[in-house]
Structure 1
């Protein structure tokens, strides 16, 4: 490890250009990108999630898809870093809340072929949509609502998942339902309430998505 940390802009470029390939052993990078500072990681994540719109103009869909896998998954471990004891709980909670902004201001705009196929399930055919669908199944964010030692993160996570269910694209909706399905056994009443509200308010959503919501409510999802 090195004591020199990358700037925010350097970190962004690493995440969207090199991170996924580096994790898979296909690229060498400067050791400074192996950040040994969970507070800095949390600050960088929060900054990205709060203001993500530029990503769609700067990077192509393949780069964005790989970066989503890297940032939210075990490739970087950033979501685990964010929950380290040295990171103040208020910073952790703020970071979780900004995930909802990330969905609203970036993912909901680029998913489902930039919204042109909003009701079609493309989570098995489009790299971006596949990655977005899996955000809450990467051994990262969802753990904050599943382990007792992170009990203070459960309510923020449920709130974010609930907020995502008001978005437009079916991939973002399915992604949130996927997350709710994974934490249903830990928070059955809250998950049932959120899914029931979704089914009531989004009564014009496609039947395949409504069926997925019913499965998520029971915790039976893939």
Structure 2
């Protein structure tokens, strides 16, 4: 397999997203190239994409974008987001990368996901619903060996999930609830506070979504 370490941003976008979304995912093929760039460059490219996704993703179908983002954030696939654990990258840059997820959700997922609930496998979901729902389940926000770094990254992730939970999008709300549910064990007070605020401010949301929120409040999510 060839290691890629010095692509331009545009070449990197093509490497991640320019693949047909039919048949087996491209990254399962034998001898596919893999990304092996310095963590600083990876952080720069991922942050740039998340902060301003639409120009970079123009021309790709939603199914191709879904597949590429899944590759990007999954620890067992592209492994790009391990840059968040790398102490060679300034903590400010890593925090910025985590916070950039809010822009990605606002600009990409909010308008292009359907209002179907993924945890119920509701038919009719749009392609991007899949990676939107699994975002905070897959994205590794561990923080690396330094305790101060971990605190900063965890705070940024929680604040970002809270901002996404406030978006007027069922798919984004469900994604944030999914993430907060998984983070409940480590941060019970913070996650409960955000979920309680959501339930109070959305009394007319779908009963199924409110039930999911109540489950997430005690960590009962898959």
State the TM-score bracket (shorter-chain normalisation): 0.7 to 0.9
Distance 1:179 1:99 in 2: 13
Distance 1:153 1:213 in 2: 24
2:155 maps to 1:155: yes
Distance 1:197 1:104 in 2: 20
Pair 1:217–1:34, CA change in 2 (3 A): same
Partner of 1:115: none
- Which of the pair is proportionally richer in helix? 1
2:39 maps to 1:28: no
2:191 maps to 1:195: no
The structural deviation recorded for 1:141 is 3.5
**Cα deviation per residue 1:127-175 (whole Å; 9 max; x = unaligned)?**
321221011111x334349x96622211111100000011122111111
Partner of 2:65: 64
Pair 1:173–1:198, CA change in 2 (3 A): same
The structural deviation recorded for 1:60 is 0.5
Indicate the larger mover: 149-158 or 85-94: 149-158
The structural deviation recorded for 1:78 is 1.2
- The count of residues paired between Structure 1 and Structure 2 equals 211
The structural deviation recorded for 1:109 is 1.0
**Cα deviation per residue 1:199-222 (whole Å; 9 max; x = unaligned)?**
111222111111101111100101
Pair 1:37–1:93, CA change in 2 (3 A): same
Residue 91 of structure 1 aligns to a residue whose secondary structure is: helix
The structural deviation recorded for 1:34 is 2.0
2:142 maps to 1:143: yes
The structural deviation recorded for 1:67 is 1.1
Distance 1:17 1:136 in 2: 24
Give unmatched runs, 5+ long, in structure 1: 113-117
**Cα deviation per residue 1:79-127 (whole Å; 9 max; x = unaligned)?**
1123211111010011111111110011111100xxxxx3x32563433
Indicate the larger mover: 67-76 or 54-63: 54-63
Runs of 4+ in 1 over 6 A off after TM superposition: none
Give unmatched runs, 5+ long, in structure 2: none
1:32-43 correspondence runs (5 A):
34-43=35-44
Residue 143 of structure 1 aligns to a residue whose secondary structure is: coil
Residue 134 of structure 1 aligns to a residue whose secondary structure is: helix
Residue 76 of structure 1 aligns to a residue whose secondary structure is: coil
TM-score (norm 1): 0.86
Pair 1:134–1:7, CA change in 2 (3 A): same
Partner of 1:100: 102
Partner of 1:110: 112
